């Protein structure tokens, strides 16, 4: 066993008597090393220990990228602690590196004085070459600014699972459980839930795999317990976070969207039809919904993205709640069909789990760059309501809201999440579906005109009736061609197109009356500065604003859920601040919408690296609006300073 | 089709109040009448009938039928039909498409609705041209078709709709043409078939591709140029008053069809095949049979039902769901949870 202990920054080491409020751990390895599984299991046991947490799975697009390569590194980051956690953390305190490539790609992000745990067994000549190391970094002192613990995890794992007679390859597959065992020991986590999970997963003739994995888990744990390691490998116990009382579980965005859609359909008293086509990172929603068919869910894996949305529209036409889901490239393909749903005024929910673009872009990385596509991206004047989720758990409520708008206003609705939200997990206070207000749908059953059916007769909100085929006496035809008022018959006349274009716009604009006024997430209305966010930037913005307010800066956080139409009071609210900063993981799309709608001097803070914002990046941007600050809280705003418009890309 | 209680209607009941806007003399008028004549005969219920179409001249069809109708987007009618049928399998769904809509922009969806075997009738109006966009050559246009987009003749080899359908896994393939008296019978057979019933209807576009099917569709000489297939009957054609009676035989040495003379009505001696609508191998030969050396094969070429998509999918769902309660609160609280009390968390 090779144990290499490097000299570290003494002051930055965690001590048992100096328990931090939060710790960021990053597991990194080859994409075949099971890092996502390890991270997921660690998340579970952390949640069970009562810590608040946020996670960030970061994996390559390739399913099995060539072993040991830099681009094949898969990582999972978790931030957990006894305070409210809203981001996956900026810089890891602990990095678990399963091979040289994982070390190379992840070490630069590690906090100075942080801890590296490396599997020295994988630091072979060949693997070092693949990771473009000329000398072994475990031996050349190049990691001196961190604490280093290197030992042959591969050999220790093989040794631990020896009694089960597995082949070398299968034995090495248990490495991730060994590592997990060590991590559980380090942070004083319970092993039992993991053991139960393994026993449930591997049954019958696969029981030997459960036994081997449990043995590896226990061996890793015992290694931490018994190894006579001095220095950094100290057991850390993070106190539970203060959360409101109630039942909790962890949930990721894809799960929460799925539950929310089902809840939404139930509240509308409708069966749900889901048309989908496999695409990263949206497929998880389809996978979740196929397991929920007892809730009146029909799922249809279509031949392509277009068929997926068209089938969903067909189901809505026939009286179910049609839902489709995709990511940017798939949403682009659905554009024409969205226009038809707008034109025929049928309810539909379209979930876009955004990823880096354009084109194929970054399939497994996160971005918020489909906002223009959602708000503006169709032919013709084609208004569509757009709402966004700020966190994995928020997806539940937002999905319900999307269903409500769709059926109450007979319109397609776009729900924006992103790759980060879809994959990341956070603790979730389990909601009571019965606590949500129902919005049951009433189909038209009788003729609504003078002895005739008028499929496009609008109510006071501009909404047409929903008529199910199969209803006696209400036969009618609808389609994508411009239509006459009330009857919906084909009508290309100037008056018809002007009237209907106006009516479609007025209907969507009117949705603003049914949504809550924009609140201030942190701070107050009016002041020197507001940081306006939407979607998954909530965490880093919130923490940055919290920290800057703690330093005495007059800065507030506004986080917008309803992107289109916008809340009625938003313009007034934004004008009550001297400066408006809009951080987005795109080149400034929401900023453009705000400028256009309110003539407000919104400034962008942009990032398009496929990684979420760090808190520090947003803090830095906020700081540029102020002359400076001191701990006493006395701050002068610098009204003459040009605000930052620079991208904070690495 | 679906199982339903027959409803008493007349042709008039199936005419909507909309003005029909096809060119005067368009073959679509005859097809519309044939459909409106057939619907009362099969006891269809207007309230339970849905016509779904894509884009093109043929796709205006739903506006003219007094039933539920959905005029959708170019090429995608099969996908809409799939959603409609899965949402409500009781609906009787008719899909109206054309050679451009169904085989060019929507070829993919046509393939998938057929292989899945969604229970519906698919009427593909084949006029071998793009009519609504003013006459460009289509995927079924014959080699050398001059058109605004192929002034010196098209070089694309044409697709054969019936052969495409069979290749895609269709369990019912039939052919007819707009003004044929037999069309209604073909539509009835399609409706009686449980599953995706594909009907290619040759349709005369009098403006952009006039009389392109005249060789076999003209009344004069029809007996010799048309082979109307009837299940259980020999494949015979020709008019004894004007020429010999002929038949279709299988050349077993070379495994292809051939035209044989029938002498004194003894078709058995001539080796003429008896049409078996469940014989997929012969169906493949019939759809590929070149017109000219052979007559045009019309009627029901193939009909061999198998379980439909919505039966299979919804049936599986019912099996999976049986005994499960739809308690969302319970589902949300499932798995590994913990409770936070005022004093802190506990497992």
pLDDT category of residue A600 using cuts at 50, 70 and 90: very high
CB distance from A244 to chain B under 8 Å?
yes
Give me B96's structure tokens: 């109206």
pLDDT of A307-359, one tens digit each?
Answer: 999 999 999 999 999 999 999 999 999 999 999 999 999 999 999 999 999 99
Provide mean pLDDT across the span B232-247: 93
Give me B87's structure tokens: 């949402």
* Neighboring chain B residues of A317 at a CB cutoff of 8 Å: 70, 80, 83-84, 87
pLDDT category of residue B251 using cuts at 50, 70 and 90: very high
Whether B314 is in a domain gets the answer no
Indicate whether A164 pLDDT > 80. yes
In this prediction, residue A427 carries a pLDDT of 85
Give me A151's structure tokens: 């030992």
Q: pLDDT over 70 for what percent of chain B? A: 97
Indicate whether B133 pLDDT > 90. yes
Among B154, B52, B62, residue whose Cα is nearest residue B110? B52
* Interacting residues of A192 by C-beta distance below 8 A, sequence separation 6+: none
Pairing of the two strands A272-276 and A246-252:
unpaired
Distance CA B114, CA B153 (A): 32
Of A85-99, A262-276, B94-108, B314-328, the one with minimum mean pLDDT is A85-99
Same domain, B142 and B81: yes
In this prediction, residue A634 carries a pLDDT of 41
Distance CA A260, CA A249 (A): 15
Same domain, B244 and B130: no
Contact B88 A469 (CB under 8 A): yes
Same domain, B130 and B251: no
Q: Which position has the higher pLDDT, A636 or A512?
A: A512
Indicate whether A235 pLDDT > 60. no
In this prediction, residue A440 carries a pLDDT of 98
Contact B63 A317 (CB under 8 A): no
Distance of CA A221 to the CA centre of its chain: 31
Among A501, A480, A502, residue whose Cα is nearest residue A341? A480
Residues spanned by the domain of B257: 234-274
Residue A473 burial (C-beta neighbours within 10 Å; 0-12, 13-18, 19+): exposed
pLDDT of A506-564, one tens digit each?
Answer: 999 999 999 999 999 999 999 999 999 999 999 999 999 999 999 899 999 999 999 99
Distance CA B212, CA A449 (A): 46
| Local structure of residue A239 (DSSP, 8 states) | P
List, in sequence order, every residue forming a beta bridge with B291; answer none if it has no partner: B294
Same domain, B137 and B79: yes
In this prediction, residue A567 carries a pLDDT of 98
The verdict on ipTM greater than 0.95 is yes
Whether B124 is in a domain gets the answer yes
In this prediction, residue A56 carries a pLDDT of 84
Helix runs in chain B, H state only:
27-41, 77-87, 99-100, 107-116, 161-167, 183-192, 214-217, 222-225, 280-288, 309-321, 328-332
Whether B333 is in a domain gets the answer no
- Tell me the nearest-neighbour CA distance from A280 into chain B, angstroms: 22
- Tell me the nearest-neighbour CA distance from B325 into chain A, angstroms: 7
Pairing of the two strands A22-30 and A94-97:
parallel
Q: Which position has the higher pLDDT, A312 or A251?
A: A312
- Tell me the nearest-neighbour CA distance from B75 into chain A, angstroms: 10
Indicate whether A122 pLDDT > 80. yes
* Interacting residues of A224 by C-beta distance below 8 A, sequence separation 6+: A181, A182, A185, A186, A233, A235
Q: Which residue of B has its CA nearest to A194?
A: B336
In this prediction, residue A204 carries a pLDDT of 86
Of A50-64, A313-327, A513-527, A574-588, the one with minimum mean pLDDT is A50-64
CB of A175 closer than 8 Å to CB of A153: yes
Q: What are phi and psi of A399, to 5 degrees?
A: -65, -40
Provide mean pLDDT across the span B301-309: 98
CB distance from A293 to chain B under 8 Å?
yes
Provide mean pLDDT across the span A107-111: 87
Give residues 1 to 20 of B whose Cβ lies within 8 Å of A: 16, 18
Provide mean pLDDT across the span B199-224: 95
Same domain, B157 and B244: no
* Neighboring chain B residues of A469 at a CB cutoff of 8 Å: 47-48, 50, 68, 84, 88, 91
In this structure, the number of other CB atoms found within 10 A of the CB of residue A381 comes to 12
Same domain, B211 and B254: no
List the single best residue of A311, A348, A482, A484 to mutate versus B (max B Cβ within 10 A). A311
Whether B111 is in a domain gets the answer yes
pLDDT of A434-471, one tens digit each?
Answer: 999 999 999 999 999 999 999 999 999 999 999 999 99
In this prediction, residue A226 carries a pLDDT of 77
In this prediction, residue A646 carries a pLDDT of 44
Provide mean pLDDT across the span A396-418: 98
Provide mean pLDDT across the span A589-593: 97
Residue linked to tokens 């798939």 = A330
Q: How far apart are the first and last CA of chain A?
A: 38
| SS3 call for B309 | helix
Provide mean pLDDT across the span B309-332: 95
In this prediction, residue B345 carries a pLDDT of 47
In this prediction, residue A47 carries a pLDDT of 83
CB of A344 closer than 8 Å to CB of A478: yes
Indicate whether A15 pLDDT > 50. no
Of B254, B274, B294, the position where a domain reaches its end is B274
Indicate whether A61 pLDDT > 90. no
Provide mean pLDDT across the span B101-108: 97
Whether B1 is in a domain gets the answer no
Indicate whether A291 pLDDT > 80. yes
Same domain, B247 and B118: no
Pairing of the two strands A246-252 and A147-151:
unpaired
pLDDT category of residue A636 using cuts at 50, 70 and 90: very low
Residue linked to tokens 């968390």 = B345
Of A50, A337, A471, the CB nearest to B345: A50
Same domain, B214 and B250: no
Q: Which position has the higher pLDDT, A566 or A206?
A: A566
CB of A430 closer than 8 Å to CB of B332: yes
The helix (run of H) or strand (run of E) holding residue A598 is helix A589-598
* Neighboring chain A residues of B86 at a CB cutoff of 8 Å: 273, 298, 300, 311, 315
Distance CA A200, CA B11 (A): 64
List the single best residue of A467, A477, A489, A491 to mutate versus B (max B Cβ within 10 A). A477
Indicate whether A16 pLDDT > 60. no
Q: pLDDT over 90 for what percent of chain A? A: 63
Is cis: bond before A565, omega within 30 of 0?
yes
Task: Give the C-alpha distances (Å, rounded to integers) separating A216 from A158, A549, B41.
Answer: 8, 46, 73
Q: In B216-249, which positions are buried (b, 16+ CB within 10 angstroms) versus exposed (e)?
A: bbeeeebbbbbbbbeeeebbbbbeeeeeebbbbb
Task: Give the C-alpha distances (Å, rounded to integers) separating A238 from A47, A53, A188, A226, A427.
Answer: 12, 12, 8, 21, 16
Task: Share the mean pLDDT of chain B.
Answer: 95
DSSP A519-573: P-SBS-SSEEEEEEEEGGGHHHHHHHHHHHHHTT--EEEEEESEEESPPTTHHHH
Contact B66 A475 (CB under 8 A): yes
Whether B148 is in a domain gets the answer yes
pLDDT category of residue A234 using cuts at 50, 70 and 90: low
Give me A452's structure tokens: 């005739």
Q: What is the dihedral of CA A223, A229, A232, A238, to 10 degrees?
A: 40
Q: pLDDT over 70 for what percent of chain A? A: 91
Give me A371's structure tokens: 């906002």
CATH of the domain at B166: 3.40.50.970
Half-sphere exposure of A230 (CA within 13 A, CB side): 4
Q: What are phi and psi of B11, to 5 degrees?
A: -55, -40
In this prediction, residue A5 carries a pLDDT of 33
- Tell me the nearest-neighbour CA distance from A591 into chain B, angstroms: 34
Distance CA A288, CA A422 (A): 12
Of B321, B325, B344, the CB nearest to A293: B321
Task: Give the C-alpha distances (Å, rounded to integers) separating B283 from B196, B198, B229, B250, B277.
Answer: 16, 13, 11, 12, 8
Task: Share the mean pLDDT of chain A.
Answer: 88
In this structure, the number of other CB atoms found within 10 A of the CB of residue A567 comes to 17
DSSP A501-525: HHHHHHHHHHGGGGSPPPP-SBS-S
Helix (DSSP H) and strand (DSSP E) numbers for chain A: 21, 21
pLDDT category of residue A642 using cuts at 50, 70 and 90: very low
In this prediction, residue A20 carries a pLDDT of 64
Indicate whether A233 pLDDT > 80. no
Same domain, B167 and B111: yes
| Ranges assigned E (strand) in A345-402 | 348-354, 386-388
CB of A521 closer than 8 Å to CB of A558: yes
CB distance from A97 to chain B under 8 Å?
no
Distance CA B71, CA B83 (A): 14
* Neighboring chain A residues of B347 at a CB cutoff of 8 Å: 48, 190
Q: In A419-447, which positions are buried (b, 16+ CB within 10 angstroms) versus exposed (e)?
A: bbbbbbbbbbebbebeebeebebeebeee
Same domain, B18 and B163: yes
The helix (run of H) or strand (run of E) holding residue B226 is strand B226-229
In this prediction, residue A11 carries a pLDDT of 30
Among B336, B102, B263, residue whose Cα is nearest residue A47? B336
Same domain, B221 and B295: yes
* Neighboring chain B residues of A298 at a CB cutoff of 8 Å: 86-87, 313-314, 317
In this prediction, residue A79 carries a pLDDT of 86
Contact A314 B340 (CB under 8 A): no
Same domain, B256 and B297: no
List, in sequence order, every residue forming a beta bridge with A456; answer none if it has no partner: A486
Q: What is the 3-state secondary structure (H, E, C) of A458-475?
A: CCCCCCCCCCCCCCCCCC
Indicate whether A615 pLDDT > 60. yes
In this prediction, residue B4 carries a pLDDT of 64
Count of all residues that appear for chain A in the document: 650
Residue B115 burial (C-beta neighbours within 10 Å; 0-12, 13-18, 19+): middle
- Tell me the nearest-neighbour CA distance from A233 into chain B, angstroms: 27
In this prediction, residue A236 carries a pLDDT of 62
* Interacting residues of A141 by C-beta distance below 8 A, sequence separation 6+: A6
| Total domains in the fold of chain B | 2
Provide mean pLDDT across the span A71-75: 88
Of A206-215, A337-346, A385-394, B200-209, the one with minimum mean pLDDT is A206-215
Whether B346 is in a domain gets the answer no
Provide mean pLDDT across the span B170-186: 98
| Local structure of residue A575 (DSSP, 8 states) | H
Distance CA A409, CA A411 (A): 5
Q: Which position has the higher pLDDT, A110 or A472?
A: A472
Contact B73 A480 (CB under 8 A): yes
Q: Which position has the higher pLDDT, A62 or A571?
A: A571
Whether B131 is in a domain gets the answer yes
Q: Which position has the higher pLDDT, A584 or A14?
A: A584
Q: Which residue of B has its CA nearest to A239?
A: B344
């Amino acid at each position: 066993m090779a144990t290499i202990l490097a000299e570290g920054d003494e002051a930055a080491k965690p001590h048992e008597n100096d328990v931090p409020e939060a710790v960021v751990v990053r597991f990194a390895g080859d994409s075949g090393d099971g890092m996502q599984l390890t991270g997921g299991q660690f998340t579970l046991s952390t949640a069970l220990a009562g810590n608040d947490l946020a996670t960030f799975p970061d994996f390559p697009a390739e399913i099995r990228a060539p072993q040991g390569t830099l681009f094949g590194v898969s990582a999972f980051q978790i931030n957990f602690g006894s305070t409210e956690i809203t981001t996956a953390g900026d810089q890891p305190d602990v990095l678990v590196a399963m091979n040289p490539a994982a070390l190379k790609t992840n070490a630069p992000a590690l906090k100075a004085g942080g801890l590296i745990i490396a599997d020295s067994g994988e630091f072979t000549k060949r693997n070092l070459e693949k990771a473009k190391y000329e000398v072994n970094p475990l031996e050349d002192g190049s990691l001196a600014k961190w604490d280093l613990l290197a030992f042959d995890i591969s050999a220790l794992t093989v040794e631990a699972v020896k009694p089960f007679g597995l082949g070398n390859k299968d034995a090495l597959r248990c490495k991730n459980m060994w590592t997990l065992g060590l991590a559980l020991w380090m942070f004083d986590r319970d092993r039992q839930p993991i053991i139960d999970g393994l026993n449930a997963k591997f049954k019958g003739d696969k029981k030997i795999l459960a036994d081997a994995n449990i043995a590896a888990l226990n061996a890793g744990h015992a290694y931490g317990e018994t190894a006579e390691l001095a220095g950094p490998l100290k057991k850390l116990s993070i106190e539970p976070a203060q959360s409101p009382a109630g039942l909790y579980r962890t949930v990721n965005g894809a799960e929460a969207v799925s539950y929310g859609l089902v809840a939404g359909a139930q509240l509308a008293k409708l069966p749900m039809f889901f048309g989908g086509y496999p695409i990263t990172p949206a497929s998880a929603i389809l996978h979740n919904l196929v397991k929920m068919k007892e809730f009146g869910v029909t799922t249809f894996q279509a031949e392509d993205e277009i068929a997926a949305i068209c089938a969903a529209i067909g189901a809505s036409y026939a009286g179910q709640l049609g839902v489709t889901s995709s990511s940017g490239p798939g949403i682009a393909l659905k554009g024409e069909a969205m226009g038809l749903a707008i034109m025929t005024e049928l309810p539909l929910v379209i979930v876009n789990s955004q990823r880096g673009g354009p084109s194929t872009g970054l399939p497994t990385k996160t971005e918020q760059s489909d906002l223009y596509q959602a708000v503006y991206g169709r032919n013709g004047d084609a208004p569509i309501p757009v709402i966004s989720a700020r966190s994995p758990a928020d997806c539940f409520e937002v999905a319900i809201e999307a269903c409500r708008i769709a059926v109450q206003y007979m319109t397609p609705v776009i729900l924006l999440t992103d790759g980060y939200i879809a994959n990341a997990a956070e603790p979730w206070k389990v909601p009571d579906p019965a606590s949500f207000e129902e919005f049951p749908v009433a189909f038209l059953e009788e003729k609504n005109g003078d002895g005739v059916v008028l499929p496009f007769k609008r109510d006071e909100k501009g909404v047409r009736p929903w008529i199910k085929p199969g209803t006696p006496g209400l036969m009618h035809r609808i389609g994508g061609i411009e239509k006459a008022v009330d009857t919906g018959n084909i009508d290309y006349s100037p008056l018809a197109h002007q009237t209907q274009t106006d009516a479609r716009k007025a209907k969507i604009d009117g949705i603003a009356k049914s949504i809550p006024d924009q609140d201030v997430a942190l701070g107050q209305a009016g002041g020197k500065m507001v940081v306006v966010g939407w979607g998954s930037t909530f965490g880093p913005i919130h923490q940055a604003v919290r920290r800057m307010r703690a330093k005495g800066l007059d800065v507030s956080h506004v986080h917008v859920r309803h992107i289109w139409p916008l809340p009625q009071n938003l313009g007034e609210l934004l004008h009550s601040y001297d400066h408006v900063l809009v951080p987005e993981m795109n080149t400034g799309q929401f900023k453009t919408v705000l400028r256009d709608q309110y003539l407000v001097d919104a400034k962008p803070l942009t990032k398009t690296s496929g990684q979420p914002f760090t808190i520090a990046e947003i803090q830095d941007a906020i700081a540029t609006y102020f002359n400076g600050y001191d701990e006493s809280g006395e701050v002068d705003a610098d009204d003459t300073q040009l605000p930052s418009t620079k991208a904070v890309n690495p | 089709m679906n199982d339903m209680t027959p409803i008493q209607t007349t042709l008039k009941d199936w005419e909507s109040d909309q003005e029909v806007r096809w060119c005067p003399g368009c073959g679509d008028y005859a097809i519309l009448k044939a459909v409106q004549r057939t619907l009362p005969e099969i006891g269809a219920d207007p309230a339970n009938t849905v016509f779904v179409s894509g884009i093109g001249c043929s796709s205006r069809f739903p506006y003219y039928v007094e039933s539920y109708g959905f005029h959708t987007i170019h090429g995608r009618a099969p996908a809409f039909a799939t959603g409609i049928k899965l949402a409500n399998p009781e609906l009787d769904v008719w899909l109206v498409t054309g050679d451009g809509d169904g085989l060019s922009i929507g070829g993919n969806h046509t393939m998938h609705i057929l292989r899945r075997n969604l229970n519906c009738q698919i009427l593909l109006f084949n006029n071998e041209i793009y009519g609504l966009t003013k006459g460009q050559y289509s995927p079924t246009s014959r080699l050398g078709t001059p058109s605004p987009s192929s002034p010196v003749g098209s070089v694309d080899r044409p697709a054969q709709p019936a052969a495409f359908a069979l290749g895609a896994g269709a369990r019912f393939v039939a052919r007819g043409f707009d003004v044929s008296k037999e069309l209604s019978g073909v539509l009835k057979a399609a409706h009686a078939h449980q599953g995706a019933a594909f009907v290619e209807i040759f349709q005369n576009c009098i403006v952009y591709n006039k009389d392109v099917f005249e060789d076999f569709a003209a009344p004069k000489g029809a007996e010799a140029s048309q082979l109307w297939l009837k299940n259980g009957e020999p494949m015979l054609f020709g008019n004894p008053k004007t020429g010999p009676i002929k038949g279709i035989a299988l050349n077993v040495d070379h495994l292809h069809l051939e035209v044989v003379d029938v002498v004194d009505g003894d078709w058995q001696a001539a080796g003429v095949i008896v049409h078996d609508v469940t014989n997929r191998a012969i169906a493949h030969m019939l759809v590929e049979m070149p017109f000219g050396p052979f007559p045009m094969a019309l009627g029901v070429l193939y009909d061999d039902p198998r379980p439909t998509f919505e039966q299979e999918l919804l049936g599986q769902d019912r099996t999976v769901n049986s005994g499960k309660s739809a308690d969302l609160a319970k589902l949300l609280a499932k798995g590994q949870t913990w409770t936070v009390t005022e004093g802190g968390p506990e497992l």
